Amino acid sequence: MTAEPVFRRRATLIGHRGLGKGTVLGQAENTLGSFLAAVEQGLDWVEVDVRRTADDELFVAHDAALPDGTFLADLTAAQVSRLGGLRVRELLDALPSGCGVAFDIKSCLEDADRSPDRTTAALLGRLVRDAGTGRPMVASSFDPAALLHIRAQAPRLALGLLTWLHFPIGHAVAAAAHLDVQVLAAHAGSLWPNPSTAPLDLPSVRHTLELVHRAHRQLLVWCPTYDQATSLVDTGVDALIVDDVPTHLAPAERCVS
């Protein structure tokens, strides 16, 4: 598969949940203030967690449950709004039109007894399709079925395969090469030695990137440390999702567009 690249320049920096995980510069993650502050810092991409309510409204939320233990999928949109939740539609309306959005689709347990066209992924696919915007976007998930569901609703939306911490990078690269996706979104922990991976079994980052590109995919790496981000920029990785955006701007700015 050959397609237009999702990320137009090397080492595109993407703000994780806005300015970063937790609270950065006084802005809590996954809030409108955090996303707008990331744009003000100079980012042209943000990462957005997507979950659904019981009545099929999409909200920006990472965890399945609220702090009091109530599951988002059991609440109505009106209830979540009263609790301060941010609707995906509201965020897209507030972001500058040129700001790219990397959606992280959070399939919920309750999606299991729904038809494919009513899952979280399918709802996002229809929202994106009906919005008719020219905004750059990519939708990724750890759930391969979610990619099928969103593809059925929004055939033109770029997709990414997300892989978790320490997921074998060889499996990830091979899987992405043979799936209908444009991006492999691998955790930084898959690229460096860790307790579950012997160093001799781990290909170099440069070799990994070469293989991803030969498969006509792009490599996005999420949650690298500062030192890892610096190395990834030097290697020429396509994109990075980072926490604490202000800290990571310096190595990314060394990359020439």
**Mean pLDDT of all residues belonging to the chain:** 92
Residue 74 covered by a domain: yes
Looking at residue 134, its pLDDT comes to 84
Rounded CA-CA distance 162/22 in Å is: 21
Residue 3 covered by a domain: no
Rounded CA-CA distance 101/70 in Å is: 27
Residue 179 covered by a domain: yes
Write the pLDDT tens digit of every residue in 186-196: 999 999 887 76
Tell me how many degrees the CA angle 133-137-142 measures, rounded to the nearest 5.
140
Query: Is 20's pLDDT higher than 80?
Result: yes
Residue 185 covered by a domain: yes
Query: Is 185's pLDDT higher than 70?
Result: yes
Residue 144 covered by a domain: yes
Residue 4 covered by a domain: no
Sign of the C-alpha dihedral computed for residues 27, 233, 182 and 186 taken in this order: negative
Write the CATH number for 35: 3.20.20.190
49 within 8 A of 62, measured Cβ to Cβ:
yes
Write the pLDDT tens digit of every residue in 24-52: 999 999 999 999 999 999 999 999 999 99
Rounded CA-CA distance 137/7 in Å is: 10
User: The domain containing residue 210 runs over which residues?
Assistant: 12-253
54 within 8 A of 84, measured Cβ to Cβ:
no
Query: Is 131's pLDDT higher than 90?
Result: no
Domain count, the chain: 1
Residue 164 covered by a domain: yes
